[in-house]
Structure 1
């Protein structure tokens, strides 16, 4: 009788504490307490896309620095970042660990289309936010069927279409060769690129081939494409293979105009390893300022980014576009968590992620906004083209709509 009474009193005390918490305006979801917010992610710290692991390194460092200053509303952000080696089975294993053992509030910033695809249905069925993921596959913008997933990249098919439209307008005699990664990301980019070319795609594209992420090199593919006689080269690759392709194109003395997708347009991890001489004149699209570009050296956001990278002991990665993207992404998550206040539930975090309207985030080009709505999860509205010259990029032309027409 005494034991039953004790359990009853304990139960009443728990209800009273919960009521007091609600009365105080606090609403905690999984992974949240009065002192901590637990967020999870997987990153390719090893494997064929390990160059992208820099994003995770920067994001972890960002929240470590933030925690040293007191965190967010008195809570420390515990970003648990696990290696998935860019291997979907490993992503599934690590994500389940984060959700079911680490009890995280959300999965954030995971890199890659195949990796995020492997956990897409699982996370949505569990109603776990899969937010600001580092991939631009078109399927991430599907609020009706996958309301718990948002991307943080210009959509690949839309970016591809921008290159196609530019070629139609500026290189009317183009004979195009295409190299792409054999996965959803590659297919999205190529589909969008051909949509941009419109009715002329069939006559303009003279050669097309793919590679697997498990391939050692893309040398044989490059020889085949060069022999096609193409004068335009559309390259969709992750950093390792992007550097290989650019270097091999130069070795083959293939003079075709290169269009390089933004996911491989890092000066530090792609163009420098390929050789700056090999990268001259290539064109890519961007929404972000390029670290190291003299035109931005005095801008307050670039100075703050440089100071952060120095304080984090990552000065050598300053020009790596993955580092800049990680810094921008972490800043955005910081603001979202701050805006959520004490209503730190999965539902409210998704509300923040799907109602973004920001123009003042660091590293964004002037005129570029991050904007989402509950009906449209695509975060970027505009992109600009830039050409590699010397040891950096030069912007040219006007901002181009990143929305489908």
Structure 2
């Protein structure tokens, strides 16, 4: 088994679900008459299927990146221990995960995809990042390799015409931005909004969704807008400029963990204490809000579709209890996760399992057909009112979100703004 990053933790993660890895060598085709007569795709045998994850296991985004491997590995580690998945063709298979470190570098993610093709990976899944997933999207389409349930809110990945072998998992950026906008538009009182966004499709998507949802709202005015580059090491100048606007609401469409923490700290230092709207992937209570001193603000809001293990509300929830046990035993992740990506990729595992159960032939075409026909799946850890639905063109597997407000320990559903 090959691993792109020689890390004890990640090695353990991958090794846990590689029981049948040796059976893959020289055995990627189904013999005539087996599997309903269909020729098996690379990466699938009568007893096992191999999935690849290219994600940041090093660098500034290694925290959430490691979670994308740990969650899906934990899910299938538990499934494999119970005997594996019974596929739609009648075969029972174990699911192997191969992890590749891209350090959030698009060139590395492209190289990782090329290596996955050489390694006979059946499909790519769960990996974090818009630029890194975009880097090999064209190559995946050309090679007809599924690139599915990946952690990007880029709507391109859910457009079936433009991306026939792709599907995003998390809500598109526009959906998250719109959820914030609707909550604010329905609130009482006048609000001045300052916006800081990442200067790429990530930031632009959030802002577009927010502005569309607040269009025509008489109680909302945008009084300042600034952008930053994902490679920037400081946004102090932008924050100082935005603070001078007198905004009482700060919409911060930022994806970089260290910059988000620094932003929370800097705003306090200059005496600016608005309510904050944060993207779901940079809103962790323990990894971001606590070190950033978020309790100093009147309100910090984010969107979610997953039960948070850190929240006292879900401490004894059966889904959360099982998830944490699986994460420790099979994902080699002993702590309560600081990032939601651990929960998201666990849900990815459940969604993939459903697709496998409906997959009539051991082919990538059959897999994509079954994956795109999942509706109303209540995957483990999903909040009430959310579900997996892959049937709508232009939308990812999860498109419904709930706005939540930070309460000093975790998040609680925000019925209104304020």
Which band: TM-score by shorter chain?
0.7 to 0.9
Aligned to 1:5: none
Question: Which region of structure 1 is more displaced relative to structure 2, 61-70 or 114-123?
Answer: 61-70
Kindly tell me: are residues 369 and 119 of structure 1, through their superposed partners in 2, closer, same or farther at Cα, counting changes over 3 Å?
same
Aligned to 2:27: none
How far apart in 2 are the matches of 1:163 and 1:329? 25
Kindly tell me: are residues 376 and 176 of structure 1, through their superposed partners in 2, closer, same or farther at Cα, counting changes over 3 Å?
closer
Aligned to 1:87: 105
How far apart in 1 are the matches of 2:63 and 2:239? 22
Q: Tell me, yes or no, if structure 1 residue 336 matches structure 2 residue 351.
A: no
Aligned to 1:57: 70
Q: What secondary structure sits across from 1:80 in the alignment?
A: strand
Kindly tell me: are residues 169 and 288 of structure 1, through their superposed partners in 2, closer, same or farther at Cα, counting changes over 3 Å?
same
CA contact (8 A) 1:194 1:201 kept: no
Kindly tell me: are residues 233 and 44 of structure 1, through their superposed partners in 2, closer, same or farther at Cα, counting changes over 3 Å?
same
- Shift in Å, 1:376: 4.6
How far apart in 1 are the matches of 2:53 and 2:334? 24
Tell me how large the CA RMSD over aligned residues is: 2.4
How far apart in 2 are the matches of 1:252 and 1:340? 57
Aligned to 1:233: 250
Aligned to 2:411: 393
- Shift in Å, 1:300: 1.6
Aligned to 2:43: 31
5+ residue gaps, structure 1 = 1-16, 399-405
Kindly tell me: are residues 352 and 278 of structure 1, through their superposed partners in 2, closer, same or farther at Cα, counting changes over 3 Å?
farther
CA contact (8 A) 1:359 1:367 kept: no
Aligned to 2:346: 327
TM-score normalized by the length of structure 1: 0.86
User: Deviation digits for residues 141-164 of structure 1, max 9, x if unmatched?
Assistant: 211221111000111112212212
Structure ID, larger Rg = 1
Question: Which region of structure 1 is more displaced relative to structure 2, 371-380 or 51-60?
Answer: 371-380
- Shift in Å, 1:192: 1.2
Aligned to 1:378: 396
Q: Tell me, yes or no, if structure 1 residue 41 matches structure 2 residue 59.
A: no
How far apart in 1 are the matches of 2:305 and 2:152? 14
CA contact (8 A) 2:175 2:399 kept: no
Question: Which region of structure 1 is more displaced relative to structure 2, 271-280 or 294-303?
Answer: 271-280
How far apart in 1 are the matches of 2:253 and 2:369? 33
- Shift in Å, 1:186: 0.9
Q: What secondary structure sits across from 1:39 in the alignment?
A: strand
CA contact (8 A) 1:143 1:374 kept: no
2:229 to 212, 231, 248: 212
Higher RCO, 1 vs 2 (CA within 8 Å, ≥6 residues apart): 2
CA contact (8 A) 2:199 2:229 kept: yes
How far apart in 2 are the matches of 1:116 and 1:262? 18
Aligned to 1:105: 122
Aligned to 1:403: none
User: Deviation digits for residues 311-350 of structure 1, max 9, x if unmatched?
Assistant: 2442324343121112222222233223326x22111111
What is the aligned residue count? 379
Aligned to 2:301: 283
Greater helix share, structure number = 1
Kindly tell me: are residues 29 and 49 of structure 1, through their superposed partners in 2, closer, same or farther at Cα, counting changes over 3 Å?
same
How far apart in 2 are the matches of 1:235 and 1:171? 22
2:334 to 302, 315, 320: 315
Q: Tell me, yes or no, if structure 1 residue 175 matches structure 2 residue 192.
A: yes
1:19 to 29, 32, 56: 32
Question: Which region of structure 1 is more displaced relative to structure 2, 325-334 or 254-263?
Answer: 325-334
Q: What secondary structure sits across from 1:367 in the alignment?
A: coil
Q: What secondary structure sits across from 1:51 in the alignment?
A: helix
Q: Tell me, yes or no, if structure 1 residue 302 matches structure 2 residue 320.
A: yes
TM-score normalized by the length of structure 2: 0.84
User: Deviation digits for residues 258-290 of structure 1, max 9, x if unmatched?
Assistant: 111212122232223323524662111111212
- Shift in Å, 1:377: 4.1
- Shift in Å, 1:179: 1.2
Aligned to 1:9: none
CA contact (8 A) 1:235 1:259 kept: yes
CA contact (8 A) 1:39 1:106 kept: yes
5+ residue gaps, structure 2 = 1-29, 87-91
Kindly tell me: are residues 22 and 282 of structure 1, through their superposed partners in 2, closer, same or farther at Cα, counting changes over 3 Å?
closer
How far apart in 2 are the matches of 1:387 and 1:276? 11
User: Deviation digits for residues 187-236 of structure 1, max 9, x if unmatched?
Assistant: 11111111112146998222111222222232222222112221110011
Q: Tell me, yes or no, if structure 1 residue 259 matches structure 2 residue 277.
A: yes
Q: Tell me, yes or no, if structure 1 residue 273 matches structure 2 residue 291.
A: yes
